[in-house]
Amino acid sequence: MRNTKYEMPNTHVAIIATGSELMRGRSVDTHLGFFARRLETIGLEVGWHSTCGDDLDRIVGEIKLAAARADVVILSGGLGPTQDDLTRDAAAEAFHRPLVFHAAAWRAIRTRFRRFRIRMAAINRLQAFAPRGARLLPNPNGSAPGFALVADGVRFFALPGPPREMMPMFDRHVLTRLPRGRPLALWEAHTVGLPEGTVDEIVRPIVARHRDASYGTTVSHGTVNITVKNGARAGRAIAKALGDRLFMRPLAEEVAARLLKRRATVAIAESCTGGLIAHKLTQVAGVSAVLLEAVVAYSNASKVARLGVPAALIGRHGAVSEEVARAMAEGAARTSGASMGVATTGIAGPTGGSKAKPVGLVWHAVAYRGRTSVERRVFPGERAHVKERSANLALDMMRRILNSE
């Protein structure tokens, strides 16, 4: 079926990520996501995105291609001082502008190095060059200035690669200078543990009843994300249909907010998830008000000593069992004084499985207000995937239990 849902705004944006580390799989590009979310706030979408190694001809080719199809071209990376930093040269060649030296930028670079008492390498002088007609963009968090150039009817922006340098420069010097599109009116929600096809069967007929609305779903580690465009009304109907399975914020934020709202505190006892539940929760600023502690009880001795799990219980049922999961969750709450205890115990793999207890088997338990809920799952896939799905399920159990009060 043809999907014509996303009308493009009038301004077309192309993104180019440069770096051989991206093309060789030594690094993952997270800039596209940043650009997309920021552009969305002014009603723009990314039309094209490409990644390119540190090769002059390839970068020149990508800039020319992007300039031919977009009004705005944003390139990141390649502004450092070393021999594989080729953005200045590539832009100069693509737009037929010679490189010129900016004395003020050179002074700013030298001042920066003096301020941090770092000895400057001579090659850093290269960073003060930019194509003729470009405006330099100051970089408060690094030595590489960016630059903006209007050429051949295209607005071209070059930004450094490191996210903490690029992001504030984008917000300050790029986002403020772009034309605004029509706001996108996206309705977004998430659900954990249902197959994507099942979610689709619920969402499709609802969206079909609402003119102009259209939708997409994605899956990540057991979480199905639903995005509906022009779908505020359809969204309300979907929320009704999925009920307590649905939530609107990122999972860890949702759980932290619900804990705060209930004035509940939580202690976590992780075995196979190895700290991932705690890591996800502590990504949320302010979670210290509700998270008392987490114990990654990787050894049986730790389960006994830290959480008060009876050694005999482990002997009888094994560390990966419903009984031990319950005892861990209850022990986490009891020994910490938290109102909620959460536990996982399982076999993340790749070894350690048996016929009765295969790799991927995880028991999850949440103890809260005198009641302990348990869920058993066998997750497919490799170690990292099992950890992710199990941590997400544990967080979703917390969410549902806090929700049902």
Q: Find the shortest distance in angstroms from Cβ 273 to a second copy.
A: 8
Q: How far is the CB of 143 from a second copy (least distance, A)?
A: 8
Under the binding rule (CB under 8 A), the answer on residue 32 touching a second copy is: yes
Site membership for a second copy, residue 319 (CB under 8 A)? no
Minimum distance from residue 404 beta carbon to a second copy (Å): 26
Looking at residue 289, its amino acid is A
249 part of the interface to a second copy, by CB under 8 A: no
Should residue 334 be labelled a site residue for a second copy when binding is judged by CB under 8 A? Answer: no
Tell whether residue 118 is a contact of a second copy (CB under 8 A). Answer: yes
Nearer to a second copy, 244 or 382 (CB): 382
For the record, the structure tokens of 405 come out as: 């009060």
What per-residue string of b and e applies to 55-65 under the rule 16 or more CB within 10 Å gives b? Answer: eeebbbebbeb
- Nearest-approach distance from CB 110 to a second copy, in angstroms: 13
**Residue 82: C-alpha distances to residues 75, 121, 122, 127 (Å):** 18, 10, 10, 9
Shortest Å distance, C-beta 116 to a second copy: 9
Give the footprint of a second copy on residues 47-76 (CB under 8 A). Answer: 47-56, 58
**Cβ burial, residue 233 (10 Å; 0-12/13-18/19+):** middle
Using CB under 8 A as the binding rule, whether residue 274 contacts a second copy is answered as yes
In angstroms, rounded to a whole number, what is the distance separating the alpha carbons of residues 157 and 134?
A: 9
Question: Contacting a second copy (CB under 8 A), which of 18, 76, 139, 143?
Answer: 143
CA atoms of 178 and 244, how far apart (whole Å): 40
Based on the shown chain and the rule CB under 8 A, indicate whether residue 197 belongs to the binding site for a second copy. Answer: yes
Q: What are the beta bridge partners of residue 358?
A: none
**Closest separation in Å from C-beta 185 to a second copy:** 13
User: What is the 3-class SS of 152-173, one letter each residue?
Assistant: CCEEEEEECCCHHHHHHHHHHH
Interface segment toward a second copy; rule CB under 8 A; list 99-107, 129-137, 192-200, 232-240: 192-200
